[in-house]
């Protein structure tokens, strides 16, 4: 009789432990899914920001701003020493 009670108690304890562990793993899976969605959103924002930075740094955007600040391209390029023929020049 004692053996049956002991087995019954063990089965109940194992059942409760199983349910508890299942609930915890379900909670963790929801948390992981939420984190994965946050990571995807942040990666999308990074891509958008990189595109914006590339667009703002393009010469088509910078030339009018530079000219508005008064910069003028030099009419003549002066080099000190001999020019290397492999280097492009005007």
Q: State how far the Cα of 55 lies from the Cα of 67, in Å rounded to an integer.
A: 18
SS3 content of the chain, % helix, strand, coil (to 5): 70, 0, 30
Convert the pLDDT of each residue in 59-76 to its tens digit.
888 888 888 998 887 778
Q: Does residue 13 surpass a pLDDT of 80?
A: yes
pTM assigned to the model: 0.51
Would you kindly state where each structural domain of the chain is located, as residue ranges? 38-68
């Amino acid at each position: 009789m004692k053996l049956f009670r002991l087995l019954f108690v063990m089965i109940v304890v194992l059942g409760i432990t199983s349910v508890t562990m299942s609930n915890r793993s379900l909670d963790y899976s929801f948390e992981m899914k939420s984190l994965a969605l946050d990571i995807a959103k942040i990666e999308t924002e990074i891509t958008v920001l990189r595109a914006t930075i590339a667009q703002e740094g393009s010469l088509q955007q910078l030339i009018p701003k530079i000219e508005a600040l008064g910069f003028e391209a030099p009419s003549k390029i002066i080099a000190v020493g001999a020019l290397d023929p492999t280097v492009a020049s005007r």
